A and B are shown apart, each in its own frame.
Chain A
């Protein structure tokens, strides 16, 4: 596509992925911007339809229902997300594990379309990705891709915008976002990671950022506050007071790595570098900390 000078900046929003998704782009005309944004929203809607935990017709629901009995054919998008999830599970010795969904259903932090049959010993190791795009569970288990698929949806939207000739864009799915183009983007980090004295503002360019914090979704279970995040191998809940933000080249990685930073900052520090990612973590007692080789926060007075 020949280079063109963008004149029109268009931003639109739709309810998708259970949140508000906004897409902004610069294009030579509003008509071109709108057509590109339509295509990007369609890409997100497709990922949502394939990987929704609640929708009984999604790939994820079909896996949870049938994959322990018979291999289930999934869409290439779903397969790609599963490959990334399994790689992170292997690299983190199971601290990142999409099969913690069974435990979350048990704690009423996730509502499955039907009551899952789960083996207590089952883990990510029982998820077998077959070469022909089919998936088999070696034991009855339950997977939830929402901790990674939202980021993937953002990446798909960026790809759709780029296919339409758009260079400068921002796709934000409820706080998991990716920016392309020459401009920097500023993002207020919001949620439980605010402390009394300072507001955290992240500045990024040509990058994705995702944040996780369990505080708003926490539930009291047998006298204890539980959030929606778990340490995968210990099956222990992560303190819902902690929040994490990860910056990575792709939003899928940023989204998935937030769960690792929440669960085990030391392990995450080693993995971040391998993926070209940076991370900040907030603990109510310790404030904001840079993880691994991430530059420390700059305090403005």
Chain B
């Protein structure tokens, strides 16, 4: 275990960063391996928006819902949520009974204060004082500080479940 704190002139901080963890195709292959997915995008009506908001307890921002029907009866849905400082794209996989089987974050965009960029000359500096074998091509993506909450994402998943119950699930009668 080794560790060292460096204080870098603030000028090297870049205002924003974005990470893509999974492309749409990667997420589909991961969450529904070897299963045919057929797009079945929906647009919520006024009545459906009202019903979803009542169940979920939060506002529907986008009436267009990107839904894929899986050959095994399951569902693959993607959505995006805005937090205070971030934009998160995510995908939810439901089984044929509408139970969540997996949630994956697809991409993440931090709107401020995320990334610390290192100019090339400074990279040579950092880590040279001990024996590190650094990979020096990376900007700094890991941030440690006060824990970020994912309340907006939790709300988003709740909303998708309400959309499932209102629109996608077999309706009684």
Contacts and interface: CB of A to CB of B under 8 A. Distances in A.
B146 interface: yes
A106 interface: no
Nearest to B143: A190
B148 A205 contact: no
B6 A297 contact: yes
Contacts of B116: 186, 188, 199, 201
A155 to B, nearest CB: 14
A89 interface: no
Contacts of A185: 142
Interface in A158-195: 170, 172, 174-177, 182-194
B1 A18 contact: no
B16 to A, nearest CB: 13
Contact of A174 (B30, B132, B147): B147
Given A182-B133, A203-B4, A207-B3, A301 B9 contact: yes
Contacts of A212: 146
Interface in B134-165: 134-135, 138, 140, 142-150, 153-154, 157
A207 B7 contact: no
A298 B5 CA distance: 6
B9 A202 contact: no
B167 interface: no
B144 A177 contact: yes
A205 B6 contact: no
A297 B148 contact: no
A214 interface: yes
Contacts of A186: 116, 126, 138, 140, 142
Contacts of A191: 145-146
A210 B146 contact: no
Interface stretch (B45-53, B59-67, B101-109): B101-109
A187 B8 contact: no
Given A183-B134, A201-B5, A190 B150 contact: no
A15 B10 contact: no
A294 B88 CA distance: 37
A203 B10 contact: no
Judged by DSSP, the binding face of A is: strand
In the complex, which range does the number of interface residues on chain B fall in?
35 or more
Contact count band on A: 35 or more
Nearest to A205: B2
Given A203-B3, A247-B3, A300-B6, A184 B148 contact: no
A158 B134 CA distance: 21
A153 interface: no
A34 B27 CA distance: 11
Interface in B32-87: none
A145 to B, nearest CB: 14
A288 B138 CA distance: 25
B122 interface: yes
Contacts of A19: 147-150
A267 interface: no
A280 interface: yes
B133 A198 contact: no
A298 B143 contact: no
A276 interface: yes
Contact of B153 (A12, A15, A189, A206): A15
A245 B144 contact: yes
Contacts of B108: 13, 20
Contact of B6 (A174, A203, A207, A249): A203
A190 B113 contact: yes
Interface of A: 11-15, 18-20, 22, 34, 150, 170, 172, 174-177, 182-194, 196-207, 209-217, 243, 245, 247-249, 276, 278, 280, 288, 290, 295, 297-301
16 contacts: A11-B21, A13-B104, A15-B90, A34-B30, A174-B147, A175-B145, A175-B147, A188-B116, A188-B142, A198-B7, A200-B6, A200-B8, A201-B6, A202-B4, A203-B126, A295-B4
Given A202-B5, A276-B1, 18 more contacts: A11-B21, A19-B150, A174-B148, A175-B143, A175-B147, A184-B133, A186-B126, A186-B140, A189-B145, A191-B145, A199-B12, A200-B6, A247-B3, A248-B1, A297-B5, A297-B6, A298-B6, A299-B7
